[in-house]
């Protein structure tokens, strides 16, 4: 079903403003998405009428806040197809989710063990594993990318050995837009008894995620890239893994009993949720995902794929422009380089025209090194973007190029 874009855009108050006296064209959704009234109002309502610390409180506000907090966990678990809400840990975002696993897995990594990442990973899904390998004297290996931005699964088969202890991979590349074949990748890794962590930060708002169908061991994602608040996210982990791993922060709800000599920890998911949780963030995250659900993820995917196809065809008509990442299975991201022009200069000029894009290495310096470029100009689309906005972007891009050549 086609999205009702006029109605949808009215749900996002920030989209009605002007930037440098020009209508805002927001094509930086890969960095963060804008927030609908449902999210803004839910967070406001919590602070107006429900604000209290959760769990163990006997008074009315605490009980209401606890119920809503745990209901949010239940809904978010169901949104990603988790088997049980015990398998969903609230975090500050995908980065903290990945760091949680990397830190907690330290006891299971020994000298000469191996961890595999891919060349397309965001720093947040590379540096934690790199540092873990340095600490434990293990080896970090990487899967290369093909010229079109896809992965060669035959190479993955060759990289996996009896020493491989984990595979960490993005669901969708934040630079290339490539949708990796996660289900097949997990199948290959599990054949070698290797657990798999998925960085789903770029996927959660764009394609259907079903962790049971994917059979992944961990899935990390953020609220703010799915129309929810910043500073909030979640980690799915199979219970068999979460029960085994040790907590990496201490205090608050993750405690069961404490004496001067010994501490026992709470059951999952609470043993990984130290300190006071971001209750408003959890409710805002739930509201953002409910907004996606209301529109239908398949409808959103179709709309964004149409935008990407339209925009890609338009930019290819411009002399000197090269598209970075042309995998046959990609979505929502269009990365460009323009011969002889630095992306930062283009981005600065586009901003003066009211067009928000992202420029630079996009926290993927190893990928840029593999591509032999310093950075790209990235336009990333969301459910509220339109073909009219793409036309404005194309006109602006042509004008900016003419000013810089």
Terminal Cα-to-Cα distance of the chain (whole angstroms): 43
Report the relative pairing of strands 358-360 and 263-265 from DSSP bridges: unpaired
CB 132 within 8 A of CB 115: yes
Q: Which residues contact 59 (CB under 8 A, 6 or more apart)?
A: 52
Residues with catalytic function: 363
| Cα distance between residue 34 and residue 242, in whole Å | 32
Gap between the Cα atoms of 270 and 288, Å rounded: 23
Q: CB 59: neighbour CB atoms within 10 A?
A: 8
The residues, any chain, with a CB within 8 Å of residue 149's CB and separated by 6 or more, are 120, 173, 176, 177, 178, 324, 325, 326, 327, 330
Q: How far apart are CA 343 and CA 368, in angstroms?
A: 13
Taken as a whole, the chain contains a residue count of: 405
Question: Are the CB atoms for 215 and 404 separated by under 8 Å?
Answer: no
Q: Record the tokens describing residue 233, joined without a space.
A: 């996210």
The span from the CA of 338 to the CA of 320, in Å, is 6
Rg of the Cα atoms in the chain: 22
Helix extents (H) in 164-274: 182-191, 211-214, 239-244
Could you give the count of Cα atoms lying within 13 Å of 381 in the half-sphere of its Cβ?
32
């Amino acid at each position: 079903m086609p999205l009702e874009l006029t109605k949808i855009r009215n749900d996002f108050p920030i989209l009605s403003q002007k930037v440098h006296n020009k209508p805002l064209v927001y094509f930086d959704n890969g960095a963060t998405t804008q927030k609908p009234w449902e999210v803004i109002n839910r967070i406001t309502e919590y602070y107006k009428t429900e604000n209290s610390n959760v769990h163990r409180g006997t008074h009315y506000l605490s009980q209401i806040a606890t119920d809503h907090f745990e209901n949010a966990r239940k809904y978010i678990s169901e949104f990603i197809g988790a088997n049980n809400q015990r398998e969903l840990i609230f975090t500050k975002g995908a980065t903290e989710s990945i760091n949680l696993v990397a830190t907690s897995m330290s006891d299971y990594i020994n000298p000469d063990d191996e961890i595999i990442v891919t060349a397309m990973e965001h720093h947040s899904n590379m540096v934690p594993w790199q540092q873990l390998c340095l600490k434990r004297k293990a080896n970090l290996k990487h899967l290369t990318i093909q010229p079109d931005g896809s992965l060669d699964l035959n190479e993955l088969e060759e990289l996996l050995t009896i020493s491989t202890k984990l595979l960490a991979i993005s669901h969708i590349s934040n630079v290339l837009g490539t949708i990796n074949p996660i289900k097949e990748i997990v199948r290959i890794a599990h054949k070698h008894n290797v657990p798999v962590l998925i960085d789903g930060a770029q996927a959660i708002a764009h394609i259907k995620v079903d962790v049971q169908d994917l059979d992944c061991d961990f899935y990390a994602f953020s609220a703010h890239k799915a129309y929810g608040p910043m500073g909030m996210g979640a980690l799915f982990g199979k219970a068999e893994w979460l029960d085994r791993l040790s907590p990496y922060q201490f205090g608050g709800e993750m405690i069961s009993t404490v004496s001067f000599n010994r501490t026992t920890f709470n059951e999952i998911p609470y043993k990984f949720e130290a300190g006071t949780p971001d209750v408003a963030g959890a409710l805002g995250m739930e509201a953002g995902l409910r907004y996606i659900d209301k529109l239908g993820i398949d409808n959103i995917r179709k709309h964004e794929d149409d935008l990407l196809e339209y925009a890609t065809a338009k930019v290819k008509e411009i002399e000197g422009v090269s598209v970075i990442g042309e995998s046959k299975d990609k979505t929502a991201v269009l990365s460009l380089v323009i011969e002889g022009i630095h992306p930062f200069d283009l981005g600065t000029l586009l901003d003066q025209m009211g067009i928000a894009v992202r420029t630079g290495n996009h926290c993927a310096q190893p990928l840029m090194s593999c591509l032999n470029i310093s950075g790209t100009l990235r336009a990333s689309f969301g459910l509220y973007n339109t073909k009219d906005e793409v036309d404005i972007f194309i006109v602006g891009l042509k004008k900016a190029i003419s000013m810089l050549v």
